[in-house]
């Protein structure tokens, strides 16, 4: 599958009733009662994303709904609304966020030049650290796979300084998610609340809480600067639908929550794009809909199976219209390669077979004649990532999807029975 170049690694809205004669003090009080409500009352349609949200897979008996957020009263000299919101989110969610220290043999995980002097093979040493958050009352904690990779011993530290040893429950390299677990006895665990993907929009205020550079309980804020990004997972695969934010994300934030202004999880902070491995205003979070699908599978089975179709391709550009013999106004995803013994091959999808002499090799495929996918299960496909996103958000191995394809100038449909994504290609 196509992927990007890898980087370094409600509460209820207050109803403000305006009536003649209400003084400004009352109006201000009503605004504060909004607590962690939205900062800007945008129209509902401004919050929609182009991709449908997957159903949340949440066991309410295991993850009970948290009580309503506690509204922080302003001091006598007043407090601005945005500060009240950020302070409330922090007060509500910081107890759910943990610091994770991973011990392992650095000889097995780190380059030679990064191995501390004097550390002998087999000797445990802190090889990585990151963030995580409480998922349920059973002691399950979610973080990134790359945070706990290579762990021999995992320590979890809560915001009050108490610590516990955690066991690894399951990992998924393709979503870069992992679940660890502590013995919950004696801990006042506070599970995080889940937000909804359809509520996320570019420009909305977001908050990240984590442990950048080991500095526990750090809050940073910003906005959603883009949605629908694909970020690298393992070789040849991507994590589609990811959230881009300008909230400061630094090493140590990995695995921590990205939150909306109601203190609900909308993503798991995972990557930054920077030449210096520090915040440059471009960070990425794994979207909540993928988290809600993968985590229950990791808890139940220790692993998660992603649906797999077996093609590689690219978004169709009208620049390539003449080369490919496709009208420039058409939208879709070109199938460049169909891998052998895959669902796509068994369904008869076609990749490019004839060499192209295109004048635009950086934009147009080097081989022509492949199918153009215009829809999946009647959902329009305008770019290649739409296929990846639909599969990740809505399907499982064994499901059948119907592709609408353009082949030799004619539209037709092809049914594809999905398989589990292989561990290697």
> Is 146 a known active-site residue?
yes
Rounded mean pLDDT, 287-294 = 96
Quote the pLDDT of residue 48: 36
Q: Which H/E stretch holds residue 404?
A: strand 400-407
pLDDT in tens, 196-212: 999 999 999 999 999 99
Rounded mean pLDDT, 276-282 = 71
Rounded mean pLDDT, 348-357 = 92
Phi-psi region of 25 (alpha: psi -120 to 50; beta: other; left: phi over 0): alpha
How far, CA to CA in Å, does 149 sit from each of 7, 9, 89, 102, 215? 18, 13, 30, 8, 21
pLDDT in tens, 46-59: 333 333 333 333 33
pLDDT > 90: what percent of the chain? 66
Quote the pLDDT of residue 209: 98
Mean pLDDT for the chain overall = 83
Predicted confidence band at 419 (pLDDT cuts at 50, 70, 90)? very high
Which residues is 165 bridged to in the sheet? 155
Which residue is catalytic, options 221, 254, 312, 393?
254
Write the CB contacts of 68 (distance below 8 Å, at least 6 apart in sequence).
Answer: 11, 12
Rounded mean pLDDT, 373-400 = 96
Which residue is catalytic, options 176, 199, 371, 386?
176
Domains in the chain (CATH in brackets) are 24-93+196-300 (2.40.10.10), 307-420 (2.30.42.10)
> Is 12 a known active-site residue?
no
pLDDT > 70: what percent of the chain? 80
pLDDT in tens, 103-157: 988 788 778 877 887 787 878 878 889 999 999 999 999 999 999 998 999 999 9
Which residue is catalytic, options 96, 146, 175, 393?
146
d(CA 131, CA 255): 5
């Amino acid at each position: 599958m196509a992927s990007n170049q890898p980087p370094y690694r409600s509460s209820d809205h207050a109803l403000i009733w305006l009536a003649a004669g209400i003084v400004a003090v009352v109006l201000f009080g009503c605004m504060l009662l909004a607590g962690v409500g939205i900062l800007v009352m945008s129209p509902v349609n401004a919050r929609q994303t182009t991709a449908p949200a997957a159903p949340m897979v949440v066991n309410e008996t295991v993850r009970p709904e948290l009580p309503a957020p506690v509204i922080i009263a302003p001091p006598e000299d007043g407090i601005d609304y945005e500060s009240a919101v950020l302070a409330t989110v922090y007060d509500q969610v910081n107890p759910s966020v943990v610091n994770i220290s991973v011990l392992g043999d650095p000889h097995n995980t780190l380059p030679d030049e990064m191995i501390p002097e004097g550390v002998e093979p087999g000797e445990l040493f802190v090889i990585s650290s990151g963030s995580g958050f409480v998922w349920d009352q059973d002691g399950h904690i979610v973080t990134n796979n790359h945070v706990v990779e290579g762990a021999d011993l995992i320590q979890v530290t809560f915001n009050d300084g108490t610590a516990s040893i955690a066991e690894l429950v399951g990992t998924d390299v393709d979503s870069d998610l992992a679940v660890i677990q502590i013995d919950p006895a004696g801990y006042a665990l506070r599970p995080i609340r889940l937000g909804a993907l359809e509520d996320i929009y570019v420009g909305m205020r977001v908050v990240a809480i984590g442990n950048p550079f080991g500095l526990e309980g750090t809050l940073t804020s910003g906005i959603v600067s883009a949605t629908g990004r694909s970020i690298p997972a393992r070789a040849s695969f991507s994590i589609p639908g990811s959230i881009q934010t300008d909230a400061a994300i630094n090493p140590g934030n990995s695995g921590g929550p990205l939150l909306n202004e109601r203190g609900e999880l909308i993503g798991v902070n995972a990557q930054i794009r920077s030449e210096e491995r520090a915040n440059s205003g471009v960070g990425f979070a794994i979207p909540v809909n993928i988290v809600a699908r993968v985590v229950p599978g990791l808890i139940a089975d220790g692993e998660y199976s992603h649906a797999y179709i077996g093609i590689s391709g690219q978004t169709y550009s009208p620049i390539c219209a003449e080369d490919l013999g496709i009208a420039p106004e058409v939208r879709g995803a070109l199938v460049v390669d169909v891998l052998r013994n895959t669902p796509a091959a068994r369904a008869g999808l076609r990749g490019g077979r004839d060499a192209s002499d295109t004048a635009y090799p950086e934009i147009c495929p080097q081989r022509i004649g492949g199918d153009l996918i215009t829809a999946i299960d009647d959902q329009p496909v305008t770019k290649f990532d739409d296929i990846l996103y639909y599969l990740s958000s809505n399907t499982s191995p064994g499901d059948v999807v119907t592709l609408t394809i353009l082949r030799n100038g004619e539209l037709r449909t092809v049914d594809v029975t999905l398989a589990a994504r292989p561990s290697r290609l």
